[in-house]
Structure 1
Amino acid sequence: MVHARALAVDGQRAAAARALLRAENDLASAEAGDDEPGRVFFFGEASLAHETACTLRDMGDLASATKEFHRSVRTRKAATFTRTHAVTLGYLGAVQARGGSIEEACGTWAEALDVMDGVHSGRARQAVRDMRSSLSVYRAKGIRSVAELDGRAARYLASVGR
């Protein structure tokens, strides 16, 4: 998955797609009892969907990225992996906004901020900074959900130290 993401960021779409398929096939072929390093205990369907979504996003396939982010949100054990769940929601909102669905993005980002309550993480802070950056385009348009969300995001950042 890391290889697929790196290839996508580098603009090597075909190679990224091949690496993505290879990772998905490897995970699908895993069986109960297969040895795995302790450091990867958490990498299951939700993690695969998250990383797949990030790769697809970086390749410019926003529709497929949205689908995979939704799968990650749906399958993640949010109570156990709260920070990752919150960050995934942040990324999903960003993809929705990039696709022109700002109201949907605001709803997703509001959920992300709900989950982030009490979360102190560099990735969470960055997701909120990115959220505010995406919202900046809409601030002057008087969209109530944007103004409310932007205020919540600013308060979150102030509470956790920018």
Structure 2
Amino acid sequence: MENCERLGPENLFPQRRLFMGVGLFSVAVGIPNWLDVAGRMEAVQSRTVSRIGMPDVDMVKKMTDQFEELYGQFGGRRSRPMAARFLANTVVPYLHADAFDGVRKAMLSAASLLSYLTGWMAVDEGLHGLAREYYAKGLELASAGADHLTYCRVLRGMSVQAADLGHGEIAVRLANAAAATSAEAGPRMSAFMAGQQAHSFAVAGEKSSALRSIMETERAVDVAESGSGSFGGYGPATLAYHAAQVRYALGDVSGSIESLKLYFQLRGPSETQVSGIRFQLMLAERQLELGHLEAACATWSEVLDKYPAMHSGRVDRRVRAISRLLLPYTSNGLARDISERSRHLSRAA
């Protein structure tokens, strides 16, 4: 099997022309709704490689689930290379194979979700340009496969990326585009979208819109929790995380800490290991920001116990920052111990 991870990003897929020629985040910024994109999409051209059926689609979906589980446990460095190779060497040829129309659309949808997930993993590694390309491809494939759900999920993922990089205005436009695309969705998906809108508005400094959106998220979660079904694992724990992000972006550090603690009280077994460690690192940094040194060190200590099993760029960067953040506290024995542990583990990683 060809190891495409040794190649440059331009070789991740055969037929480079299938990528949209876009800048960072610009795919959806100028595309407010599904129909505008769908009307301009060219169908993915078929080549006679082989004939595929629904068992092939099911296999791609199951492999995507496996990659997502692997990422959730260990991080993007471990899972993305495998997902990228599978996408390039197995899924792309399927897109050129003979198939009935229903099978082809299902394969396009499955490929879109895998491309989105691979982009999400690239964000975890800090490879934002590469993530942009996977997201762009995910939008194209979702549109060609008439998969509204994955289409808006990719838009939301792009908004998460923009918000985490501090691009508030772009994050808002992407989150709004995702919400508009999913306007007919049920309450849990509405919460999934509104929570990201709230965070984006807060990063953009739009306080009233952020508070309105987080209230919409709360109402949607209440409705969803009274019923059945799920989307994207969104529930009370994720709501607490979004509330923490909104509060922090609006300057309420203490409230953000309260919401993060609530997240840890509410998170269930489906919450991923990587997310939990990332949010603990956020919590420790914010505890230190308020001068709660012992609390911050206790939180960091829990993280460092789990850190050796991680392969996450975002976790790596925050662990490396610990010793720098603790420099003003070198006279404190607990702080020195945590600083030394973080440096040692960072070198080992």
TM-score of the alignment, normalized to the shorter chain, above 0.5: yes
1:69 is aligned to: 260
- Is 1:149 aligned with 2:343? no
Q: Count matched residues.
A: 154
Q: Is residue 221 of structure 2 the alignment partner of residue 27 of structure 1?
A: yes
Confirm or deny: 8 A CA contact 2:323 2:340 kept in the other structure. Answer: no
Deviation, 1:33, is: 3.1
Q: What is the CA deviation profile of residues 112-159 of structure 1, one whole-angstrom value per residue up to 9, with x for unaligned ones?
A: 2223330111221132234333222323xx111111111111122223
Is 1:54 the counterpart of 2:249? The answer is no
Please say if 1:43 is aligned against 2:238: no
Counterpart amino acid of residue 46 in structure 1: A
Distance change in 2, residues 1:73/1:33 (3 Å): closer
Q: Percent identity?
A: 23
Q: CA 1:122 to 1:147, structure 2 compared with 1: closer, same or farther past 3 Å? A: same
Is the CA contact (8 Å cut-off) linking 1:49 and 1:71 kept in structure 2? yes
Tell me the residue number matched to 2:284: 93
Higher-Rg structure is 2
Secondary structure of the 2:268 match is coil
After the TM superposition, which segments of 4 or more aligned residues of structure 1 sit over 4 Å from their partners? none
Whether the 8 Å contact between 1:78 and 1:85 is mirrored in structure 2 is no
With over 3 angstroms needed to count, the CA separation of the structure-2 counterparts of 1:8 and 1:131, relative to structure 1, is farther
Aligned residue identity for 1:29: V
Write the letter of the residue equivalent to 1:69.
Answer: L
Could you say which residue in structure 1 is the equivalent of 2:303?
A: 112
Shift of 1:106: 0.8
C-alpha distance in structure 1 between counterparts of 2:247 and 2:209, whole Å: 12
Distance in structure 1 (CA, Å) of the matches to 2:305 and 2:269: 12
- Structure 2, unaligned runs of 5 or more: 1-194
Structure 1 residue ranges without an equivalent (≥5):
none
2:250 & 2:348 partners in 1: Cα distance? 34
TM-score, normalisation: structure 2: 0.41
